[in-house]
Structures are given as C-alpha cells and as structure tokens.
A and B are shown apart, each in its own frame.
Chain A
C-alpha cells in the first residue's frame, strides 16, 4: 500500500501553509453511476483512493480548538487521526481513531457528519468542510483490506459481568468499552444475526453486511459472547439476567413500526418499512429464490415518509425491480428529515418525490392486494412543535392513483417487550421510552442501564454509540463503587 503513495506529493502537501491548504478543493468520492446502481445492491460510493485521502486530509488546518471534535457524539480525536492520514500514516490514523471509536467503517458510512463534526469544521465557514466522514471510512477500509486489524487491549478480569440486551450500535459500543475495563460481557441478540438496525435496517448498498460482520468480529475477538435467538422479555426476563450479571444494559432499539391507521392498511402489499427492509436486508429477499424469504414483486411503489428509512425503502424497491417509486411526503423537501445525501442519491436513481401529499386510504382487489392509493394535497401552515411548518390538508383535493406496493416509513416506537415484562422499570407513558438519566444512562431500576433508541426514541446510529460509551463509563463506575444514586458521572460534563 505504501508503494502506491507519492512521497514527494505528500512532502509538498505537508509543507503547505494554512492559507494554501484552504485552497485545496474538497475531494470527491467516486461512486457507482446512478443508472447502473439503481438495479444492483452493491455499495454506492467506492471510497477515497489513498492519495485522494491524503490530499483531503491535508486540507485540515489543525485548529488549536478543534470544534469538529465537540461535534462528535463519541468525541473522536479528529485532528489527530487526520494528521496521520495527511502524512500517509494510515496505520497511525486507524489506531488514533480506534482509541475512541471501534466501529469506524460503520460510522464513516452512516453518520450524518454534515450535522455533526463537519458542521463545526472551520473550513466550512467560508467554503466546504474537511470530508471527515470519508476519511474515517478510508482508514477503516484501509485496515480491513490489510487483513485482521488490531484487537483492542482488554482489561484484566474484574470479576464482574454485564448482560447487554441488543447487538445494535449502542450494545456493541457498551460491550467494547466494558471489555476494556476487564468486565465480562454477554450480548443477548433477539435475531439470528448481530448488528440490530445495522443488519436488518440499513441496506447493503449503503452499509455492506460484510462490514458489519467484520466489525462485530472484533467485538467477538475481544472476548464478548454473543447469544443469538435470545428475545429478552419473551424467552428470558431482565430479572433473570440480573441473577447472573452484575448489571444489565438495554439497547433494544426502536423496534415497533408505526402505521397510520388508514382504511386498507392491512391489504397485501402494504408493508412497514421495517418488514420490507428486514426481508431484503437481513433475510436477503433480493436474492430470492436462492434465499428462501420472498418479497413483493412490484411495479409501482409508494413510500410514505421523508426520513432516511423512507429513502432506504425507496431505493431498495428500485433495486428489486420496481418501474416507478414515489416518495409521498406531507411537507415540502425543506422539512424532510432525511440526509441531503440520501435525498440526492434517491433522486439520481430515479425516485420520484410527491411532496405535500398524504395518503388517506388504500383500495384493494378481490385477493386483498393493494391497487390504488387515495391521497390528499397539503399546504404548509405555521411552524409546529418540531419547528417545521405544519402540513394542512387542502379540502376536496383527494385523488387516487395506482400502486401495487406501499411502504409505510413514518417512524418507529421503542420496542415494548422489555418494558412490558420488567417490573420497576419506569417508562415514559407518551413515548414508550425507558426513563433514563441521560448523564448516567441509569434507569429507575437498580443495576439496569439503557441507551440508544429505547431511551430517546428513534435517532441515529452515532447517538446510540454515544449513549453506549457513556453507559459503559457509568456501568464501570457502578461496578467499582457500588453507588447507584448519582446524578452525574465524575469527570464528565453533563450531557447536552
């Protein structure tokens, strides 16, 4: 790999003054052509070639007070890892990265950097920010291509053990950090594969499952036991876990799909995004009949919602062969919660956007298969609680159009299985989340911690990881001091 590096060019870049660095344009990441990729499940961006990564890293001016780092939910030492890449020291870069983030190949792909680190980048004030996410992905991919990476140092056995419920981003992060403290960790995963939403939710073309597996493998090599097919709350209760573990972390995620309660919503061909994506991602229905799980063969697909999950569903439907895929969203594009990158990718691939529309009912045929969707046009009113302009139906604007598949992607609630079966665990009655002190990630039940979507409702992978990080510190504090009633962890500012 080092032979591919142009040492002279690196020397030149390294000698640049800040003013000159800021003249370097943000480097582009090559990606699969839209016309081609809309019919395959291969990953869309190819990643940065090594010298492009070095060039991009040399745009960083190494701010004295790096605001990017403050914007990162897990506090990666961004300038330090970028400095390594800028010198062509990729091994140093990945090591620096892994001091704080053990799952960089995942974060580099799915984090909304434009809302976090890159939003705070000094370069972004006048021009384009350093492509921190792409560099993160670069060092992670570089390491994987070298073969097995370093296994992080595991602490000496503490004699304590922790049960972690769920192997999604929160659970994996907790497990890694607890192993570093020497605590024994068992992860209980409800499904037959690890990764939670990384596996069942995010499609292959955005996060290849081989990458999830590789990062989980590191966790396993750190000595974490993963028990599959363990549906806590059904197969076993949290109380039973507390009998064999000194503490329990709940990272059970947002596994309750919302529907709108519209007439015809139970017609065949109307899916929750969770089901549609689980069939395609986890069960690999896109490879039917080589994989056994079927999925609808669609021509005209309507995806209800405007978030990342809606974009993932729409782009999956295209790849499964649909002729026409429409995003139906009740507000305008400006209010869409999806990342810009996802919206752009969807548009490039040919997903159509029906903005300011909402479904009111679905009509089916004799076999109970959805055939028509009735919509209402909307206009925007005053801002609502979320700060976004409220959509108001335009009376008499109903119209129907033909669809054979509908994917409802309007969000997910917290999975209720654990709260329903755990006594003394307080739940927010409105949101269904487990009441959790966000400074300490502690719940109302002694010895039970929570984080990720189950604690705050559907959010992002990186926020869940941030929770996992804090929960691990808090669990370590609890296991070593025995103190439960603490409002803040020593040595850490309160959560924002």
Chain B
C-alpha cells in the first residue's frame, strides 16, 4: 500500500504545468467540487494551497494540476512516483454550491481549467446543461480539454494567439453565448485574476450570477492567520474557510492581484537559489 501523500504519477501537461496523481484515500473520499488541499513538500517546505482537479474515491487518489511558479512548485516537478509529500491536508474550503439552475457556463482559463473540472462534472451530474469555455495563451498551454469535453454539453476553446480554437479572449466567447438563445443562468469562472475580473464585469452587465474561485496566499488554511483575506462586497473574508468561491460581482480583484504579488521578490530569490542548487547537482 502506498503512503498518504505518495506520488503515484507525475506527468507534464503543458509547458511548466504538471499533473500529479497523489495517494490520499481519505481526502479522495471526502472531497467535493470546489475544495482544495494544502501541501508541504519537505521539512523546510512552505504550505501551499492546491485545488483538486480530479479524484477517485474507489482508488484513493487525487489529481493536482500545478503550474511551476516558485520554488515549491519547481521542486514538485522533480518528484518521482514513490516520493512522498511531507504533508497533505484537506479537503479544505467550502464546497461549490451545486444545484440545477438550467444552463451553467464554466469558464476556465489556463491552469484554472483544472479546478473547474470537478465543478463542471458536478453541475452536469446535477442535471444542468454545461457550456464550457476554455482559454489558454496558445495551443500547447491548453490543458484537460478531453476531460472537460467529457463533462460538458458544449465546449468552446479560445487562444490568445489563435493557434487553436478561436483567436481571442474567453469574455468574447462568453458574450456571444450570453447574447444567444443559450444564455446561462449561472457562470463559474476560474483562472487568472484578470480573467475572473473581466468575466465578472461582463456578467454583471447582464445580471448573471457569477462564482469565482480565488487562490490568494495562504499559510494554515484553517482561518487562523488571515493571510488569505479578500474584500468581498466591502467586507473582509478569509478565502481558506469562507471561500475559496465568492460572488464575482462583489470581489475586489485589484486588491487580490496586489496581495498575490506581495512576496514576488522573495519568491524569485528562492526560485533562483533553487535552480542554482539544481545546476550544481547536475
């Protein structure tokens, strides 16, 4: 039997994006769409939140789709099957509110497609018509298209450079859908903050309820430190316990973007130091 936190598979999905299959039977059994885990790679590691892209309760695994942005995520790419994450805790956060509303548009941008997957799956299972819009900078950065097609009634793909699907932004596609006969009753948008911001601005115009899933910097994930606080409708919320999903029409995205960038210098420093050490070892 594998240990909890043991890496079962580590595969590359796109440039700087890896998919990890991790043995975590309890979390796999309990997790619901919209929830996340916090992991620590090793004894000196930081705690980072990662959304759950897929899970099998029967086989006891989770899938995490992780973009290499800092030292911890770079370190993760080196993990081999049989390596064990020092810590994995979850499922954390409030699950997505799933109900049958009619048509749901799921907008996934970049790495945000991964957490959008279980939500699309659950929305579909609840009897909704699911229209999925996937956005990526280019074709080779698009992830999980096949899995998303499997849980959607309709899939639209767009890329910034037009290398695949429509050339343009997810908001352009969403706007067309809203103005067509297929106007959704609910929009779920997960991706870069800037994308969620513009999706929310658009849907606000059309008064379509919109859920966004936020990924601010966290430490404990139990509501103890307040590092993940976000302003929602003028009130401060803790994304780890009150979220990670919030009403997109009320989120202060500008503040969130700034808060996410707070440690950028130190993150760069740690990453460069890590890469330097890796080169020395080679």
* Residues in A lying within 8 Å of B, measured CB to CB: 190-192, 200, 228-231, 234-235, 255-257, 259, 261, 265-266, 268-269, 271-272, 274-275, 278-279, 283-284, 288-294, 296-297, 367-369, 415-417
Question: Do A292 and B219 touch across chains, with their CB atoms under 8 A apart?
Answer: no
Question: Do A275 and B222 touch across chains, with their CB atoms under 8 A apart?
Answer: no
Q: Which of A229, A268, A274, A368 contacts B88 (CB 8 A)?
A: A229
Question: Do B270 and A231 touch across chains, with their CB atoms under 8 A apart?
Answer: no
Q: Choose the segment among B107-115, B136-144, B190-198, B225-233 that binds chain A (4+ C-beta atoms closer than 8 Å).
A: B225-233
Question: Do B89 and A231 touch across chains, with their CB atoms under 8 A apart?
Answer: yes
Shortest C-beta distance, B88 to chain A (Å), equals 7
Q: Which residue of B lies closest to A408 (CB)?
A: B226
Shortest C-beta distance, B228 to chain A (Å), equals 9
Q: Which of B223, B229, B241, B267 contacts A266 (CB 8 A)?
A: B229
Contacts A235-B30, A259-B236 given; indicate if A416 touches B227 (C-beta within 8 A): no
Check if B148 is an interface residue, CB within 8 A of chain A.
no
Question: Do B45 and A417 touch across chains, with their CB atoms under 8 A apart?
Answer: no
Residues of A within 8 A of B223 (CB): 255-256, 415-417
Give Cα A290 to B225, complex, Å.
22
Give Cα A428 to B243, complex, Å.
24
Contacts A278-B225, A283-B219, A292-B46 given; indicate if A235 touches B89 (C-beta within 8 A): yes
Contacts A284-B44, A288-B266 given; indicate if A255 touches B273 (C-beta within 8 A): no
Residues of A within 8 A of B227 (CB): 271-272, 275
Question: Do B263 and A294 touch across chains, with their CB atoms under 8 A apart?
Answer: yes
Give Cα A288 to B258, complex, Å.
22
Q: Which of B229, B261, B266, B273 contacts A294 (CB 8 A)?
A: B266
Question: Do B44 and A257 touch across chains, with their CB atoms under 8 A apart?
Answer: no
Q: Which of B44, B47, B91, B254 contacts A235 (CB 8 A)?
A: B91
Check if B40 is an interface residue, CB within 8 A of chain A.
yes
Question: Do B226 and A289 touch across chains, with their CB atoms under 8 A apart?
Answer: no
Shortest C-beta distance, B276 to chain A (Å), equals 11
Question: Do A283 and B270 touch across chains, with their CB atoms under 8 A apart?
Answer: no
Check if B207 is an interface residue, CB within 8 A of chain A.
no
Shortest C-beta distance, B153 to chain A (Å), equals 33
Give Cα A89 to B47, complex, Å.
46
Residue among A191, A200, A271 with most chain B CB within 10 A: A191
Residues of A within 8 A of B269 (CB): 289
Question: Do A234 and B45 touch across chains, with their CB atoms under 8 A apart?
Answer: no
Shortest C-beta distance, B71 to chain A (Å), equals 6
Q: Which residue of A lies closest to B225 (CB)?
A: A275
Question: Do B224 and A278 touch across chains, with their CB atoms under 8 A apart?
Answer: yes
Residues of A within 8 A of B30 (CB): 235
Shortest C-beta distance, A467 to chain B (Å), equals 20
Contacts A292-B46, A292-B270 given; indicate if A274 touches B87 (C-beta within 8 A): no
Give Cα A228 to B263, complex, Å.
28
Give Cα A446 to B56, complex, Å.
36
Residues of A within 8 A of B241 (CB): 234, 416-417
Check if B49 is an interface residue, CB within 8 A of chain A.
no
Main secondary structure of the interface of B (DSSP, over half): mixed
Question: Do A192 and B219 touch across chains, with their CB atoms under 8 A apart?
Answer: no
Pull 11 A–B residue pairs with CB atoms less than 8 Å apart, ordered by A.
A192-B86, A192-B87, A231-B222, A235-B30, A259-B226, A259-B229, A266-B259, A279-B219, A294-B263, A368-B254, A417-B223
Residues of B within 8 A of A235 (CB): 26-27, 30, 89-92
A-B residue pairs, 8 tightest by C-beta: A368-B258, A275-B225, A229-B89, A294-B266, A255-B224, A292-B46, A293-B46, A268-B262
Shortest C-beta distance, B96 to chain A (Å), equals 15
Check if B221 is an interface residue, CB within 8 A of chain A.
yes
Give Cα A415 to B220, complex, Å.
13
Residues of A within 8 A of B47 (CB): 192, 283, 293
Q: Which residue of B lies closest to A261 (CB)?
A: B236
Question: Do A274 and B222 touch across chains, with their CB atoms under 8 A apart?
Answer: no
Q: Which residue of B lies closest to A284 (CB)?
A: B44
Residues of B within 8 A of A266 (CB): 229-231, 236, 255, 259
Check if B72 is an interface residue, CB within 8 A of chain A.
yes
Contacts A228-B87, A272-B226 given; indicate if A289 touches B219 (C-beta within 8 A): no
Give Cα A228 to B273, complex, Å.
30
Question: Do B44 and A256 touch across chains, with their CB atoms under 8 A apart?
Answer: no
Contacts A289-B269, A289-B273, A417-B241 given; indicate if A265 touches B46 (C-beta within 8 A): no
A255-B224, A272-B225 given; name 17 further pairs at CB < 8 Å: A190-B222, A191-B220, A229-B88, A235-B92, A257-B226, A271-B226, A271-B227, A283-B47, A284-B44, A288-B266, A289-B71, A289-B269, A290-B44, A291-B44, A296-B262, A368-B259, A416-B223
Shortest C-beta distance, A297 to chain B (Å), equals 8
Give Cα A283 to B86, complex, Å.
14
Give Cα A429 to B207, complex, Å.
36
Residues of B within 8 A of A368 (CB): 254-255, 258-259, 261
Residues of A within 8 A of B88 (CB): 229
Question: Do A257 and B225 touch across chains, with their CB atoms under 8 A apart?
Answer: yes
Shortest C-beta distance, B154 to chain A (Å), equals 35
Interface string of B24-55 (1 = CB under 8 A from A): 00110010000000001000111100000000
Question: Do A288 and B270 touch across chains, with their CB atoms under 8 A apart?
Answer: yes
Give Cα A293 to B266, complex, Å.
9
Contacts A283-B47, A294-B270, A368-B258 given; indicate if A417 touches B222 (C-beta within 8 A): yes
Q: Which residue of A lies closest to B257 (CB)?
A: A368
Residue among A234, A265, A272, A279 with most chain B CB within 10 A: A234
Give Cα A192 to B225, complex, Å.
15
